[in-house]
Structure 1
Amino acid sequence: MPVTELALFHFKNNKSIDSPENEAVKAKLLSGIKDQASYASYPVYLLTQVEDPSYLYLVGGWESVETHMEKWIPSKTNQDIMLQLQDNLEVAWLQHLDVSPGTLSPDSVNLESECSGIPLAAPVIAISRYFINPLKRGDFQSTLATNKHHLLEFTKASSIGGGWRLDPEKTEDVETNMKDEFVLFSGWGAIENHLKFAETESFKEFGKIKGYLEGAEIKHARRPSNVAAV
C-alpha cells in the first residue's frame, strides 16, 4: 500500500537550513533527497518548523512501509547519505501515514476534499499530531468527519488533510504504546490566522475531537526559501 513518510530532522548547530553555516550540509541533504525521490518515484518536500527553525520536516512517498524500511534504509546509497549527514543532522523521529503519496502536490488544493493529502501550497502548514486511545479511534474519526468543515470554511484559501500513523512509536511505557496517532495537516496564510480560529464559535464545534484525545502536539511549518521539491 502506498504511504506517506513524515520525518523530523534537527540541525545539531541549532541553525536553520537557510543559515549560511548550514550551506554545505544543505547541499548534501538536497543531493540525498534527490536520490530518495529517484528510488521511490515520489517527490520529496522539506518544511522548516516555524517554532524552532533548526527542525526540518521531510515529506515523501513510498510504495509501502517495507519498501522504505527494509529496502531503502539499509541500502548502500542511503547509508552513504546518512554517513555524510550524521555530524550535522539527526533524526528526531520518523513515521508513515496512510495518506496516498499521489496527493503530494502543492497544486492539489480542494476545499471539498476528504481528509487526504497535504496542503503543501499554503504559506504555513499546521501539523497537528493527535494521540488517541484505540478504543476511541472510531469516535474520534467520526467526530472529525462531522466537524472538519468548520476548519475548512475558516482556512478558506487552503485545504486540510491527514491520516493515521501506521507504525506507532515503541516505548517502554505500555500505556503510551497503546495510543494511536492521527496527523492532521491544515494550510494557513499565517500562524495568526490559525490562532484566530481558536477564538471562534466554529472552533468549539471542531474542538469536540478533544474529548477523544490522550494528548496532542501542534507545530507549524513552511517551505524553506530557495528549496523546491525534488
Structure 2
Amino acid sequence: MYIVGTWESPGHHERFLPSVENLGLFDLLRGEVVLGVGIGETVEGRGIRMWHLEGDALSCLRTGIDEGIGEEDAKKKSPFSAPIISCNRHYISSHNREGFSAKFNEVKHALENETKEYEIEGGWRIEKEAEDKEEWVMFCGWESVEKHMAFSKKESFKEWSGIVDWVEGFEVRHLRLIEGL
C-alpha cells in the first residue's frame, strides 16, 4: 500500500505524524498497516517505508488543477486520476545524476506519447539510502497494466530504454486508488 501526499517540507510532515488527525487516518487502514515499528521496518510485510521527493513533483494532488506548459499539456490529467499508476524508482549513483537527468529529458517524449492524457510526475528522493546513491521516483498514469506492458514491445520503447545506461537498477510497481479513502 502506498500513501501519497504533498507537504510544505519533510519537517512539516514529521510534525504531522504523531498528530491525532494522522492517527485517526491509520484507524481506516487497520489490518493493512502496522504502527509501532520503525519506519522502514515491517511485520509480515506490513509497515511503513517513507520517503520525500524534492520539489513540487506532486503539485497536482495539492492544487487539484492539471497545469502544463503548453496548451496540449494543460489538457493532461494527473497520473493519480488514471485507473493504473506506475511507480517507477530509478537507482542512480550520485556521479550519474546529471547524465541521467539529461537523458531522461531527451527521451521523455517517448513515454509521454504513450501515457498521452496523463502527466508524468516525478522528483529526486530527499532521504538517501547511501550518500553516493540517488533515486528518481516517477509516477505515470495508464489505462491498464497491459497498456503499460505493451509499451515495452513498441519501437519507441527502444529510445526510452536509453535511460537504463544511467541507472544501477530500477523497480516498477503498479498501483490503483483505493476507493472511499
Report deviation, 1:119. Answer: 1.1
Write out per-residue CA displacement over residues 45-72 of structure 1, whole angstroms, 9 at most, x where no aligned residue: xxxxxxxxxxx11111111111112x22
Say if 2:23 is the partner of 1:65. no
The one of 75, 95, 106 equivalent to 2:51 is 95
Give the corresponding residue for 2:162: 208
SS at the partner of 1:199? coil
Which of residues 64, 83, 89 is equivalent to 1:123? 83
Offset at 1:98?
Answer: 1.9
Higher mean C-alpha deviation, range 80-89 or range 126-135: 80-89
Identical columns (%): 33
**C-alpha distance in 2, partners of 1:198/1:158?**
18
Cα distance change of structure 1 residues 106 and 153 upon mapping to structure 2, 3 Å threshold: farther
TM-score by length of 1: 0.62
1:48 alignment partner in structure 2: none
Q: 2:98 aligns with which of 138, 146, 149?
A: 138
Aligned to 2:136: 182
Amino acid at match of 1:196: A
Aligned partners of 2:31 and 2:85: how far apart in 1? Answer: 29
SS of alignment partner, residue 6 of structure 2: strand
Distance, in Å, in 2 between the alignment partners of 1:192 and 1:165 is 28
Residue type of the alignment partner of 2:33 = L
Cα deviation per residue 1:70-109 (whole Å; 9 max; x = unaligned)?
x222445545765896765233410101242432166627
Matches of 2:67 and 2:142 in 1, distance apart? 12
- Closer, same or farther: CA 120–133 of 1 in aligned 2, 3 Å: same
Are residues 211 and 217 of structure 1, via their aligned partners in 2, closer, same or farther at CA, if it must alter by over 3 Å?
same
Confirm or deny: 8 A CA contact 2:86 2:140 kept in the other structure: yes
Q: Is there any run of 5+ residues in structure 1 with no aligned partner, and where?
A: 1-55, 170-175
Which structure carries more strand by proportion?
Answer: 1
Query: In structure 2, how many angstroms separate the alpha carbons of the residues matched to 1:81 and 1:187?
Result: 25
Contact 2:78 2:118 in 1 (8 A): no
Q: Counterparts in 2 of 1:152-163, with a 5 A limit?
A: 152-163=112-123
Which residue type is aligned with residue 133 of structure 2? K
Which letter does structure 1 place at the counterpart of 2:54? D
Contact 1:118 1:162 in 2 (8 A): no
Equivalent of 2:66 in 108, 113, 120: 108
Structure 2 length-normalised TM? 0.77
Aligned residues: 162
1:6-52 Cα offsets, whole Å, 9 max, x none, are xxxxxxxxxxxxxxxxxxxxxxxxxxxxxxxxxxxxxxxxxxxxxxx
In structure 2, relative to structure 1, the CA distance for the partners of 1:81 and 1:201 (3 Å cut) is: closer
Q: Which amino acid aligns with 1:103?
A: C
Matching of residue 220 in structure 1 with residue 178 in structure 2:
no
